Amino acid sequence: MACPNSKCPFSEVKSGNGSTEPAAPECTITDAVKQVHYLAGENLFTKGEKSSCLYAVTDGLVKIINHSPDGREQIVGLSTPSALLTGLQTLEEEEHQYSAVAATNVSACRLRHRALLTSVKSGSEIAVRLVSAINAQLAHSRALMRVLGQRCAAAKIASFIKLVFPESQKGNERYTLPFSRHEIADMLGLSEETVCRQMAKMKRRGILYAPRGGIEVYDWAQLIAIADETPAASGRAA
């Protein structure tokens, strides 16, 4: 089966077809996969729901959320088209321990747990690919932890922009940020006022343009310097 997601851990390009055209990626577990689509705001799954599938995002961004005891929504993770599998944490559990919501319009491949685990038991290649997906998930989680561990507000915000900005759009293209200033503040442990103030400072320095609902990075070198908290950049952005 043709696969639209070349970054899915279960996608591969088979060589040797004799054609001069680039080969399209194919899915290695076709009997366990269905292509699905969600509009922004729709749930891929909800906390407490029976856990039977996981998702490889082809396009868009997914919020991983929990709710605080007072009912407030907390974003605890993100999933993008980068060899990540949404729902991986509940691969062998009966119920999802969190909810997954489309932050933008999302296309994904939905994989059945049982069929995937059967494939793992019958073939080492699928097992290796699953391990790679787990490693990618851990790397992404560590990247998010590094964002939260930054010392100053400017570094947290710059690091967050780096993390969520799609690789394909890391130029001077505008990207619609699927989070409100309030959501960014909540994720980073900052006040909404601080987020607005720091982004306004970056705008004045010519680093980015950030009207509500969108963001355009003009100077990636300066943004990365702030994210890395180099002394000169951090001093100017504080």
Phi, psi of 107 (to 5 degrees): -115, 140
Tell whether the model's pLDDT for residue 53 goes beyond 90. no
Q: Identify whether residues 80 and 137 lie together within a single domain.
A: yes
| Amino acid 234: pLDDT | 47
Residue 184 domain flag: yes
Name which of 79, 78, 88, 84 is nearest 7 in CA terms: 84
Name which of 62, 98, 95 is nearest 80 in CA terms: 62
Residue 31 domain flag: yes
Name which of 199, 221, 225, 198 is nearest 210 in CA terms: 199
User: How far apart are alpha carbons 27 and 16 in whole angstroms?
Assistant: 17
Residue 6 domain flag: no
pTM for the structure as a whole: 0.73
| Amino acid 195: pLDDT | 92
- pLDDT band for position 87 (50/70/90)? confident
- Structural domain tally of the chain? 2
Helix (H) or strand (E) holding 76: strand 73-79
**Which residue has better confidence, 56 or 115?**
56
Residue 2 domain flag: no
List the CATH number of the domain containing 220: 1.10.10.10
By the 8 A CB rule, do 21 and 10 touch? no
User: How far apart are alpha carbons 62 and 178 in whole angstroms?
Assistant: 10
Tell whether the model's pLDDT for residue 39 goes beyond 90. yes
Residues in the chain: 238
Last residue of a domain, one of 107, 122, 147: 147
What is each CA distance from 77 to 61, 99, 137, 172, in whole angstroms? 11, 10, 10, 26
User: How far apart are alpha carbons 79 and 227 in whole angstroms?
Assistant: 21
Residue 180 domain flag: yes
Q: Identify whether residues 142 and 161 lie together within a single domain.
A: no
Q: Identify whether residues 89 and 175 lie together within a single domain.
A: no
Q: Identify whether residues 202 and 226 lie together within a single domain.
A: yes
**62-67 and 99-102: which strand pairing?**
antiparallel
pLDDT digits over 210-222, tens only?
777 678 888 888 9
Write out the residue range of the structural domain in which residue 135 sits. Answer: 11-147
User: How far apart are alpha carbons 190 and 122 in whole angstroms?
Assistant: 48
